[in-house]
């Protein structure tokens, strides 16, 4: 592989990562705030308390700003599949494109239609219809996320498709296998519920800032109750779905799991690293210890990956050598990296023979080669990898991202429990103002911590499956477009400037709205009305 081609691959990956990271700053807040606003408006609809109406409209304004910029970055992200990853788009277009088409036709139009009613229909439609529009906007956003995550899950675990040697493309054979695969379901629930967590932290943090200013205490108490419960429910469900995700990853992406734990050589009853510092000198096969320091929980990873405390969990070197289970209980030896590459070459050879037989009209030979293709096609991607190490993701980035995510996730469980306890048991709140202010600042700091936690989850998901665009079928260097790296670099910096400007504008507008409301006593205003 030439340096020129790898330069294009690296810059294309960097551009897509840039766009995805900026996009993900807006998406989870949209998903979660939609639920929070729906709950608040439901309370208003049932009580007809004008204070709840004021609170609902306040958070609805922040939702609208975030929604608009999220749409702008999301559209660019989808276009990049065609501009930077055209080989990928051509190879699996009718599979990957189907969920995205449903997302655009159904979910996007749904949320775009009802968001207009939500913002401009307060005095133009009945309260019941407006409430329905608010919930349908939130539902549309979640449905949009669902189909995008289904498409992403298929890249992690390609199912429901068959390779057609005549068209040289993967073609969908079972739509529901794609839509309802275990990878898709675990990813959807884990991602959506984590968005509830982030939005809950956002609401709590904003209220913490308002309380520091000494304004709108009643408004903040109302908001904290909804945000705290949504956040707690979100983080509990995120933890549960995270357990399901771990089992799915262990089954279909064992290399990702090994990178998440910095595990090179596994064993039965494998422990899990609670805290560790990786050895920077550790490489595949060099005999170095993987950690400079670590604290591990015995049998933890075995249970997390298989729900069996004594199960064997393979490490990176085990997978490369073809040892993915306990060899003492193994009936069929798994394939090593070299064996997978040989099987991939067999698929390439059969494909060439099939094409020659097709041109010659030899149906008998075509049938023979088709059988070889079907048997070996799932290893085709390995023919493009030159060294076993190429199939290993970035271990430090995956390991530290995963453990940061888990650590902050544990903190968030405690955080939301404490918030709700102090809300419902105010007599437990310390009377000293310094301690109260410390709590408000902790709530504010929790916002960026939760964003980093959410972003770390995506880093684990995407970096952990490298070098694959489609797991085991298509590596990144095969999926890219035929572009000059200079073009990709130019658009990378253009996007970096534009996205940064959009982010600054988003934060600026949100902060102005919060500051404006924090200077106004919402409850007194509504009482005057």
pLDDT digits (tens, 9 = 90+) for 103-112: 888 877 888 8
Phi, psi of 167 (to 5 degrees): -100, -10
Strands 474-475 and 468-470: antiparallel
Q: Please report which helix (H) or strand (E) contains residue 272, including its range.
A: strand 272-278
Phi, psi of 326 (to 5 degrees): -65, 115
Q: Please report which helix (H) or strand (E) contains residue 399, including its range.
A: helix 395-424
Distance CA 75, CA 96 (A): 16
- CB burial class (10 A; 0-12, 13-18, 19+) of residue 435? exposed
Share of the chain above pLDDT 70, in %: 93
Which pLDDT band holds residue 327 (cuts at 50, 70, 90)? very low
Instruction: Yes or no: say if 325 and 314 are a contact pair by the CB < 8 Å rule.
Output: yes
Check whether 84 has a pLDDT greater than 50.
yes
* More confident of the two residues 236 and 166: 236
Q: Which residues contact 393 (CB under 8 A, 6 or more apart)?
A: 255, 256, 259, 463, 464, 465, 466, 467
Q: What is the pLDDT of residue 325?
A: 58
Share of the chain above pLDDT 90, in %: 60
Q: What is the pLDDT of residue 391?
A: 93
* More confident of the two residues 54 and 332: 54
Q: How many CB atoms lie within 10 A of CB 167?
A: 10
Averaged pLDDT of the chain: 88
Q: What is the pLDDT of residue 264?
A: 94
Instruction: Yes or no: say if 476 and 1 are a contact pair by the CB < 8 Å rule.
Output: no
Spatial CA neighbour of 163 closest among 82, 94, 83: 94
Spatial CA neighbour of 188 closest among 248, 260, 101: 248
Which pLDDT band holds residue 475 (cuts at 50, 70, 90)? very high
Q: What is the pLDDT of residue 68?
A: 82
Check whether 361 has a pLDDT greater than 50.
yes
| 254-261 and 395-424 helices, crossing angle to 10° | 70
Q: What is the 8-class DSSP label of residue 268?
A: B
Distance CA 21, CA 514 (A): 25
Distance CA 359, CA 392 (A): 39
């Amino acid at each position: 592989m030439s340096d020129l081609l790898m330069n294009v691959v690296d810059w294309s990956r960097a551009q897509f990562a840039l766009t995805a990271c900026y996009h993900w700053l807006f998406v989870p807040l949209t998903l979660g705030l939609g639920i929070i606003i729906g709950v608040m408006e439901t309370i208003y609809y049932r009580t007809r308390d004008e204070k709840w109406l004021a609170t609902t409209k306040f958070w609805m304004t922040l939702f609208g700003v975030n929604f608009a910029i999220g749409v702008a970055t999301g559209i660019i992200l989808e276009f990049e599949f065609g501009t930077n990853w055209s080989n990928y788009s051509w190879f699996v277009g009718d599979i990957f494109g189907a969920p995205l088409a449903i997302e655009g036709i159904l979910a996007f139009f749904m949320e775009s239609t009802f968001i207009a009613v939500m913002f401009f229909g307060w005095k133009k439609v009945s309260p019941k219809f407006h409430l329905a529009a608010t919930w349908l906007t939130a539902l549309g956003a979640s449905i949009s996320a669902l189909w995008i995550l289904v498409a992403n899950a298929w890249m992690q675990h390609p199912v429901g498709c068959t390779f057609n040697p005549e068209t040289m493309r993967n073609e969908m054979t079972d739509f529901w296998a794609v839509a309802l695969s275990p990878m898709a379901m675990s990813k959807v629930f884990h991602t959506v519920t984590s968005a509830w967590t982030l939005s809950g932290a956002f609401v709590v943090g904003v209220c913490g800032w308002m309380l520091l200013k000494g304004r709108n205490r009643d408004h903040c108490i109302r908001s904290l109750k909804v945000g705290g419960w949504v956040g707690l429910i979100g983080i509990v469900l995120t933890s549960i779905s995270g357990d399901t995700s771990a089992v799915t990853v262990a089954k279909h992406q064992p290399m990702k799991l090994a990178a998440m734990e910095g595990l090179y050589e596994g064993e039965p009853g494998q422990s899990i690293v609670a805290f560790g510092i990786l050895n920077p000198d550790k490489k595949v096969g060099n005999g170095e210890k993987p950690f400079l320091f670590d604290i591990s929980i015995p049998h933890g990873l075995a249970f997390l990956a298989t729900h069996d405390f004594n199960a064997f969990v393979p490490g990176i070197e085990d997978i490369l050598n073809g040892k993915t289970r306990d060899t003492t209980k193994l009936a069929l030896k798994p394939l090593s990296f070299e064996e997978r590459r040989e099987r991939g070459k067999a698929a390439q050879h059969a494909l060439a023979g099939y094409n020659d037989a097709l041109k010659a009209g030899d149906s008998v030979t075509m049938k023979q080669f088709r059988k070889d293709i079907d048997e070996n096609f799932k290893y085709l991607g390995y023919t493009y990898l030159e060294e076993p190490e190429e199939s290993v993701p970035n271990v430090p980035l995956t390991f530290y991202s995963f453990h940061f995510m888990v650590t902050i996730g544990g903190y968030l469980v405690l955080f939301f429990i404490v918030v709700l306890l102090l809300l419902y048991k105010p007599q437990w709140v310390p009377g000293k103002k310094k301690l109260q202010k410390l709590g408000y600042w902790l709530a504010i700091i929790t916002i960026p911590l939760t964003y980093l936690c959410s972003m770390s989850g995506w880093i684990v998901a995407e970096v952990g499956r490298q070098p694959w665009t489609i797991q085991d079928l298509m590596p990144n260097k095969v999926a890219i477009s035929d572009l000059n790296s200079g073009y990709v670099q130019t658009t990378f910096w253009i996007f970096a400037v534009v996205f940064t400007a959009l982010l600054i504008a988003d934060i600026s507008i949100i902060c102005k709205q919060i500051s404006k409301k924090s200077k106004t006593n919402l409850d007194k205003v509504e009482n005057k009305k």
